[in-house]
Structure 1
Amino acid sequence: MKPYLTLLLLLTALPRMAGAEVHFCGLDEAQELNARALMPLAEAPSDLPPWRVERLYKQSPADLERALEALGYYQPEIRQRLVRDEDCWHAHFDVTPGPPVRWRGLEVGISDAAASDPGVQALADRDRPRAGEVFNHGDYTRYKNGLLAAVNARGYFDAEYSLAEVRVEREALAADLRLQLAAGQRYRFGELSFTEGIIRQRILESYSDIRSGEPYSSESVNNLLLELNSSGYFGSVSIDTEPLDEADKTVPVTVKLTPGPRRIYSVGLGYATDTGRRAGSTSPTGGSTAVDTSSNRACSAQN
């Protein structure tokens, strides 16, 4: 036991090696986070060979400039120093970010069928950069990608940018945006089909506002998924909208259902003075759903 105790005491008595440190002065939280993310020196371990530390230290001003430019600061002043001690090294950066670049000219154009689609125009205006705001590469990229994704969600699956550029004038501290989105033709819903055969097709269709030939919308697909999931009749629900019919510009909708707990259904017809003819399905467990045939929508579900 004595050798073991002696070794344990020696290990606990050893001093802990100090970690390498990179200090920033003059940056706000967002600027420092981006600087650390783009500066390899900030991730360097304390036992990195001195020649490697020197190389990373020398390239750090360029890394720091790149990090600040992404946030709109193109004229930083950087002062730096590297300090070594017995255990490790410490890098210090005193930074004055300078005035930011701001948006000046903003040109966002949408062509083809989407040019007259009010929904697309609303999407283009949402989160759009405004003149006078600080230019931020991340915000621009999110806007550009978000607009394309939102247009796709409305059925413009052939949409692509014919022009996407930002020009920055460093001396003028100004950025000009030019985006041209060629949307193409809007796709329409194709055939709506269900794989589960226990419940009648017309009852399943009552959960959906999707109609063949109408303009495609991912919102309608999501609503159908939520309606079927909340019905309580199925163990799982998935919807497939592939493959697209590029010739006819249609989107097939295939709903894949697996049965939930086994139930016996009976269907009957009735008439209500306020809603007209109604169809209902019931099960011995008490679950029921009522369908208003005048609107072809599911009215209620109880389980």
Structure 2
Amino acid sequence: MADLKPARCRSLSCRDVLLSPTGSTVARSGRCRLFCALVVLCSLLAAGEATALKLEVRVQGLAGEQQSNVLAQLAIYQERKDAALTEPRMQALHRLAPDQIRAALIPFGLYRVQIQDSLTRPADPAGAWIADYRVDPGAPVKITAVNYQVTGSGAGNPAFPKTFPMQVGEVLLHSRYEQAKGDLRAVASAQGYLDYQLVRHQVLVDPANNSAVVDLTLDTGPRYVFGPVTFTQDLLADDLLRRYVRFKPGDVYNPDRLVSLQSRLLGTEYFGKVEIVPHKDPTGESLVVPIEVIAERNQANKFRVGAGFATDIGPRVSMDWRRRYLNQWGHNFRSLLSLSPALSQFNFDYRIPIRDPRRDYLRINPNFTYYDTTTRSGWIGLVHFGQSIVTPGGRRRDLGIDYRYEDFTINDVETDEVNELVPNVSWAKTVADDPLYTSKGYRLKYTILGSVGGLISPTSYVSGVLDFKGIRRLSSKYRLIVRSDLGATWAGSLDDLPASRRFYAGGDQSIRGWGYDTLGPNDPITDETIGGRFLAVGSLELERQLKGNWSAAVFTDFGNAFDPEYALEYEQSLGLQVAWRSPIGQVRLAVAFALTKDQGPSNWGLPPARLHFIIGPDL
């Protein structure tokens, strides 16, 4: 028998139960106090005993939740492994056990429980005592009548159930009765009946006849509505704050909507403390409840310094500065400096809240990037002006225009400088039960961008990209992870595209087994990778949980970047991965074998291999 969590909430659900005079007498609270006093007395008498006993407790005749609740409340079972257990205390606990078993079964409507109990001394002094309880739960009490009524001004409100959830003929389950009462209270509160009362709420049980009568009357009282919302704070304009309020004066008063308002305001990080104060008329003459929001500003600045490592870009250090607010209109910004040998970046993201200020904003986003990979090097200066909103379907849509300057070199052969004006739009959506360690979810983003030759840009092109990653748990220990990256660019030739607008493959998030951006069309003269106008990369991964936070996976990555003007090459890798689930996401170490790469010398006849180290969330 497994040890169980102490779930004493079941026995608490009996507080409305009354026993009819025809049934056996049960003095609930008095008996409980007597039980506790006997246990304490026995404990004091046994304090001087030093010999620990071995005890085995058996409860037979029950199963499922009934047995779980009995074991949770059976003191002799809970203390069976106590090193201080002595024979006098054990005998005292054994005498209490039948009443504890009966009390634990009452929430299941079992009032005529028969118990055969025995406490057997071991034949061998080193053996174990046996406490045996054979339980015959008997027939459960059933509901023979339900007297249910809603009175007051809300008597006709359809939000209240027309009939009580427990019906005649059903077994009396006290957990269902308490749940039904709680649901009625929740409906009354959500419908604005702040003064509701349970005028009658009791269950009359006749154990002799296995019958019960449910008697419940709820009086709603008057219905309240929201009044005007005022703000007590010294940071933001009231017009901005009112956009966080999702109700208006005259709407039915619902406390849950106030909790949501508090959550929304705290989620902005403008405020460190938010208190919602409803000013209900204590005389009851007015049914309008004005709302006061009292908020204290948060610290303006937030700084963070970090370090990391990934096989694609090597060691990395980062510095992050976030300014939570700049003025009364809620403007804010975030700046990030990230330095690594292969990719360094400075990003400044200035945001202006619009529409729904929780999630919609205008962006001014200067960005400077320096890259130095195996296939290309250079730097990009970019200024993005755009709008970012969440659509009714839950997708984030970014619409904007970029001015870009790129100075690049491809494999020390092709060098150029490009100025571009690039309109762009993207849609993205992430759905996950847990973004750090996902059992069911996906991430989808698709982007369209381009330029018009002669309008600052030297050439014209249109490019579309689709990125997808999906995760599905197959069983308690297995997950299937799929990933796909597709891209296509329509341009006169590959030479019309700067390095950052070409597609490459290879690396931690692409085709493992190759270095970062080392795959793609090769120049037929130099045999160097020069990128392509199309991309098709996929991945399949099957993961199995090993023990605790550790898991292992087998995967295959495949595809490539390609271009119609150059030879098409298909690449594939096969690999193994171990991962540890950390508070910031999975820490993954993978070895990938490049199946389609030139074999070369190998110690064991295996394809060339590459290690990949990745830290981060699943989606």
The answer to whether TM tops 0.5 is: yes
Q: 1:46 to 1:81 in 2, by over 3 A?
A: farther
Tell me how far apart the structure 2 counterparts of residues 266 and 218 of structure 1 sit (CA, whole Å). Answer: 28
Q: 2:134 aligns with which of 91, 94, 97?
A: 94
Higher helix share: 1
TM-score by length of 2: 0.39
CA contact under 8 A between 2:107 and 2:175: conserved in structure 1?
yes
Q: What is the correspondence of 1:240-251 to structure 2 with a 5 Å cutoff? A: 240-242=276-278, 244-247=280-283, 248-251=286-289
1:287 corresponds to which residue? 351
Tell me how far apart the structure 2 counterparts of residues 262 and 78 of structure 1 sit (CA, whole Å). Answer: 66
Of all paired residues, the percent bearing the same amino acid is 23
Amino acid at match of 2:76: L
CA contact under 8 A between 1:80 and 1:92: conserved in structure 2?
yes
Amino acid at match of 1:118: P
Residue 109 in 1 paired to residue 149 in 2? Answer: yes
CA shift for structure 1 position 56: 2.6
Q: Deviations over 1:122-164 (max 9, x none)?
A: 4x769x2233332112221232234224422433222221111
1:34 corresponds to which residue? 69
Extract unaligned runs of 5+ from structure 2: 1-50, 301-322, 334-348, 364-619
3-state SS of paired residue (1:116): coil
CA contact under 8 A between 2:354 and 2:360: conserved in structure 1?
yes
CA contact under 8 A between 2:121 and 2:129: conserved in structure 1?
yes
Residue 301 in 1 paired to residue 363 in 2? Answer: no
Tell me how far apart the structure 1 counterparts of residues 75 and 359 of structure 2 sit (CA, whole Å). Answer: 59
CA contact under 8 A between 2:52 and 2:86: conserved in structure 1?
no
CA contact under 8 A between 1:225 and 1:237: conserved in structure 2?
no
Number of equivalent positions: 266
Tell me how far apart the structure 2 counterparts of residues 201 and 135 of structure 1 sit (CA, whole Å). Answer: 53
CA shift for structure 1 position 76: 2.2
TM-score by length of 1: 0.74
Amino acid at match of 1:101: V
Tell me how far apart the structure 2 counterparts of residues 78 and 164 of structure 1 sit (CA, whole Å). Answer: 32
Q: 1:21 to 1:191 in 2, by over 3 A?
A: farther
3-state SS of paired residue (1:93): strand
3-state SS of paired residue (1:263): coil
CA contact under 8 A between 1:210 and 1:221: conserved in structure 2?
no
2:78 corresponds to which residue? 43
Q: 1:241 to 1:81 in 2, by over 3 A?
A: same
3-state SS of paired residue (1:286): strand
Tell me how far apart the structure 2 counterparts of residues 108 and 46 of structure 1 sit (CA, whole Å). Answer: 52
Higher strand share: 2
Q: Deviations over 1:77-132 (max 9, x none)?
A: 2111101232553210111212222233223211112212222x14x769x22333
Q: Deviations over 1:46-68 (max 9, x none)?
A: 64443333333223222211211
Q: Deviations over 1:11-51 (max 9, x none)?
A: xxxxx965433210111121122212333322334644433
CA shift for structure 1 position 282: 5.3
Residue 263 in 1 paired to residue 325 in 2? Answer: yes
Residue 208 in 1 paired to residue 245 in 2? Answer: yes
CA contact under 8 A between 2:53 and 2:87: conserved in structure 1?
no
Q: 2:211 aligns with which of 174, 197, 210?
A: 174
3-state SS of paired residue (1:129): coil
1:276 corresponds to which residue? none
CA shift for structure 1 position 172: 3.5
1:238 corresponds to which residue? 274
Deviates more, 1:105-114 or 1:235-244: 235-244
